[in-house]
Amino acid sequence: MKKIKLLILAMLLICTAAISYAQSDVYIGIASRGGNALPKLGIAQFKYDEGSKKAAAQVRDIMRADLMFSRHFDISEKGPKIDTANIVKTLEEWQKNTFSEFVLYGEVSSEGEDFIINIFIYNTSEKKPVFARSYRGKENALRRLSHIASDQVVKELTGKRGIADTRIAFANSATGNKEIYIADYDGANLKKLTTDRSIALLPRWSKDGKIYYTSYRYKNPDVFSIDLAAGKVSPVAITKGLELIGGVSPDGRSIILTRSGGTNPSIFEINLETGKSVQLTDKAGVDGSPSYSPDGRFITFVSNRSGNPQIYVMDLQNGSTRRITSSLNWADTPQWSPTGEWIVFAGRTAAQNPIDIFLVDITGTQIRQLTSDSANNEDPTWSPDGRFIAFTTTRKGRRQLYVMDADGSAPHLLADIPGNSYTPHWSM
């Protein structure tokens, strides 16, 4: 399938109703605490009653996978079963045999159609629990409860936010049209959200859990919102021209988008409470793919105002704009990191090269190429903790969703989803 970047899409849509959608020494990898070894976490076997064996195994397996993926811990599973009646002796054995600083243990029981999950973390030096939480839900809630528990464990032991209970929204063509889907951060729980039977693209999460996206459901590229709690799709920005959603402000009150209507496609901001829109750019050329900084004071976007498309940053308070890339042949789809230090984007170094994923710091002085193969790697989006990047790639033929560490290492398939996938966005 022919691939044409969103900037080209904007240009084409202005002219026609048809659409063909087609380095420096910097390291920002996942570091352990202070450069020291990761804290050692033991994961014990869970206890269960007669009706909860399968549920206990599922909860433990999901939490194990979450905590291993988090890269926050050095995990061991070779210790003895937890004997709560002789907990001091049991923890001594864990400490002696595995050198674990903490041990994760769970108890799962059934009560009617519900499961009760009790999760504990023991400090092996102090020989006492430092974490004890209880969760309750039906079988179909076990995965979600496990993710929530994993994130709370990460928060308790590291002080940092976990991402196990996050989701990724994206467009996919499995139905023959492009519809909006969501999946858990690990690729599970795939769910189709729209039935527009047209072209739906660019899902963008809001902090309240809504998803804004661009769709042709009314035969024009307009912006809609999906209220996941209510199961409702609502129009947001309906015009006769182009409306390509870029992002939602950190406070959830505004969206930023590429809109036609003037001489060239430009960046606009729409207040979701009043519906009032403000034009932010008005230059010769095409401005597109905008997204907010984490504090909402700046935006980054793409413009070909100086020739080939490059990345720009604008101060929303005074409108001052500066270019932060210049050495690339092409740059597109910038997304600001949650920490505010980096912008990830898709680009290429020469016209004959495939599209790859790059990082640029906010000063524009450091650029790092994260992917390098014969395929196209596009549509990067940050995990909410800034430690991982999801993107699309054609490295195995069709366009699939991958996740990699923020330094470009450990790329892996998110899930084997039929069709081609586009424009992912990680929940906040």
Q: Please indicate, yes or no, whether residues 129 and 267 belong to a single structural domain of this protein.
A: no
d(CA 417, CA 413): 10
Q: Which residues pair with 344 in a beta bridge?
A: 335, 359
Listed residue (109, 105, 107, 184) closest to 147, CA to CA: 184
Q: Please indicate, yes or no, whether residues 177 and 56 belong to a single structural domain of this protein.
A: no
Listed residue (181, 183, 184, 214) closest to 199, CA to CA: 214
CB count within 10 Å of CB 113 equals 8
Cβ proximity of 224 and 244 under 8 Å: no
In a domain, 348, yes or no: yes
Q: Please indicate, yes or no, whether residues 115 and 151 belong to a single structural domain of this protein.
A: yes
Return the CATH number at 39: 3.40.50.10070
Given the structure tokens 């993107």, which residue do they identify?
391
Cβ proximity of 133 and 150 under 8 Å: no
In a domain, 1, yes or no: no
The confidence score (pLDDT) of residue 374 equals 81
CB count within 10 Å of CB 213 equals 26
The confidence score (pLDDT) of residue 264 equals 87
Instruction: List the structure tokens of 48.
Output: 């269960």
Q: Please indicate, yes or no, whether residues 126 and 170 belong to a single structural domain of this protein.
A: no
Q: Please indicate, yes or no, whether residues 349 and 416 belong to a single structural domain of this protein.
A: yes
Provide the CA 246 distance to its chain's centre, in angstroms. Answer: 15
Q: Please indicate, yes or no, whether residues 150 and 10 belong to a single structural domain of this protein.
A: no
Q: Please indicate, yes or no, whether residues 236 and 305 belong to a single structural domain of this protein.
A: yes
The confidence score (pLDDT) of residue 262 equals 65
Instruction: List the structure tokens of 369.
Output: 């190429």
CA atoms within 13 A on the CB side of 352: 0
Antiparallel, parallel or unpaired: β 74-76 and 40-43 = parallel
d(CA 167, CA 63): 16
Cβ proximity of 394 and 405 under 8 Å: no
In a domain, 301, yes or no: yes
d(CA 350, CA 202): 26
Maximal CA-CA distance, the chain: 77
Amino acid at residue number 1:
M
The confidence score (pLDDT) of residue 34 equals 47
Of 127, 158, 189, the residue at which a domain comes to its end is 158
The confidence score (pLDDT) of residue 312 equals 98
In a domain, 81, yes or no: yes
Q: What is the DSSP letter of 199?
A: B
**Total domains in the fold of the chain:** 2
In a domain, 196, yes or no: yes
In a domain, 214, yes or no: yes
The confidence score (pLDDT) of residue 36 equals 64
Q: Please indicate, yes or no, whether residues 244 and 371 belong to a single structural domain of this protein.
A: yes
Q: Please indicate, yes or no, whether residues 140 and 192 belong to a single structural domain of this protein.
A: no
Cα torsion for 133, 139, 142, 143, to the nearest 10°? -170
3-state secondary structure of 324: coil
Domain hosting residue 208, numbered range: 6-30+166-426
Of 158, 183, 212, the residue at which a domain comes to its end is 158
Q: Which residues pair with 400 in a beta bridge?
A: 393
| Residue 161 Cα distances to 148, 298, 359, 371, angstroms | 11, 24, 23, 26
CB count within 10 Å of CB 87 equals 17
Structure pTM? 0.90
Q: Please indicate, yes or no, whether residues 233 and 275 belong to a single structural domain of this protein.
A: yes
Return the CATH number at 361: 2.120.10.30
- Ramachandran angles phi, psi of 5, nearest 5°: -60, 160
Cα torsion for 190, 194, 200, 204, to the nearest 10°? -70
Of 158, 177, 198, the residue at which a domain comes to its end is 158
Q: What does the pLDDT profile of the chain (428 residues) look like in tens digits?
A: 433 344 444 443 333 333 232 332 332 333 444 456 899 999 999 999 999 999 999 999 999 999 999 999 999 999 999 999 999 999 999 999 999 999 999 999 999 999 999 999 999 999 999 999 999 999 999 999 999 999 999 999 999 999 999 999 999 999 999 999 999 999 999 999 999 999 999 999 999 999 999 999 999 999 999 999 999 999 999 998 999 999 999 999 999 999 996 678 999 999 999 999 999 999 888 999 999 999 999 999 999 998 999 999 999 999 999 999 998 999 999 999 999 999 999 999 999 999 999 999 999 999 999 999 789 999 999 999 999 999 999 999 999 999 999 999 999 999 999 999 999 999 99
The confidence score (pLDDT) of residue 359 equals 98
The confidence score (pLDDT) of residue 35 equals 52
Q: Please indicate, yes or no, whether residues 268 and 245 belong to a single structural domain of this protein.
A: yes
Q: Please indicate, yes or no, whether residues 112 and 206 belong to a single structural domain of this protein.
A: no
d(CA 284, CA 286): 7
Would you mind telling me the total number of residues written for the chain in this entry?
A: 428
In a domain, 110, yes or no: yes
- The beta-strand segments (E) located in 260-376 are 266-271, 277-279, 287-292, 298-303, 310-315, 321-323, 330-336, 342-348, 356-361, 367-369
